[in-house]
Amino acid sequence: MKKKIAHPSQELRNKILQACLTLFTTKGYFCTSVDDIRREAQISVGSVYNYFDNKEAIAVALFDDLSKTMAKAMADIIIDYDSAHDRCHAAIEYLFECTETNPAAMHFIFYAKHREFLPEVKSICSSEPLTLMRQMLTEGIKSGEIVEMDTLVASACVFGIPLRMIRMRLDDVVCKPLPTYLETIWQHAWSTVAA
């Protein structure tokens, strides 16, 4: 049976999720206990269980919240920009900025092995943010702005290099902030699909 508190505090829920994000990206999901979460959030175990049934429920909520935030950003980009060129550029710029401002979130959303501990959750490749990124490309193909090709191939061409740069930044291989490389990466990524 789900436990719910009468008037949940969004602030406390966010504190729990932030603690989990920190722990999951430093210790890993399997090495993090509810007691670790309680300690990191500086709350009681009971407070954790008032919001979530178990550690898996916290991980699901964290993944959902991060995915929704990113999906909203991608949806806003689709509204704010008219061309596939400008939308994809803005999407990469957003991802690079997120990597600099919230590396733990980017690590969790893109590189945690979700299927190992969240078998019911869709893979990141099937998630709403990446679906919206592929939509940008599909519309570009339909409008003739992008060469006719499979959308997954176009996605690998346009977003594969930036996602690899994000991984290298998170692994401390790339030392400079990613926005430093944005225009060079963008020029080469776009040239692989431009009509």
Lowest mean pLDDT among 1-15, 90-104, 161-175: 1-15
Please name the helix (run of DSSP H) or strand (run of DSSP E) that holds residue 57, with its range, or none. helix 55-80
Q: Where are the alpha helices (DSSP H) in 84-126?
A: 84-101, 103-111, 114-117
CA 168 – CA 159 distance, rounded (Å): 14
Cα distances (Å, whole numbers) of residue 39 to 5, 6, 135, 137: 21, 24, 42, 44
CA 60 – CA 137 distance, rounded (Å): 28
Query: What are the residue boundaries of the structural domains of the chain, listed by start?
Result: 1-53, 64-191
Q: Does residue 89 have a pLDDT over 60?
A: yes
- Mean pLDDT for the chain? 91
Q: Give tens-digit pLDDT for 53-73.
A: 999 899 989 989 999 999 999
Tokens 């932030």 belong to: 18
* 109-113: average pLDDT: 79
Superfamily of domain 64-191: Tetracycline Repressor, domain 2 (1.10.357.10)
Q: Does residue 124 have a pLDDT over 90?
A: no
* Residues 45, 34 contacting (CB under 8 angstroms): yes
In the prediction, which pLDDT does 131 show? 94
Q: Does residue 6 have a pLDDT over 50?
A: no
Tokens 């020029």 belong to: 187
Q: List residues bridging with 194 in a β-sheet.
A: 146
Superfamily of domain 1-53: Homeodomain-like (1.10.10.60)
In the prediction, which pLDDT does 136 show? 97
Cβ-defined contacts of 144-148 (< 8 Å, 24+): 144/195, 145/83, 145/84, 145/85, 145/194, 145/195, 146/84, 146/193, 146/194, 146/195, 147/193, 147/194, 147/195
* 130-139: average pLDDT: 96
On the question of a common fold for 1-53 and 64-191, the answer reads no
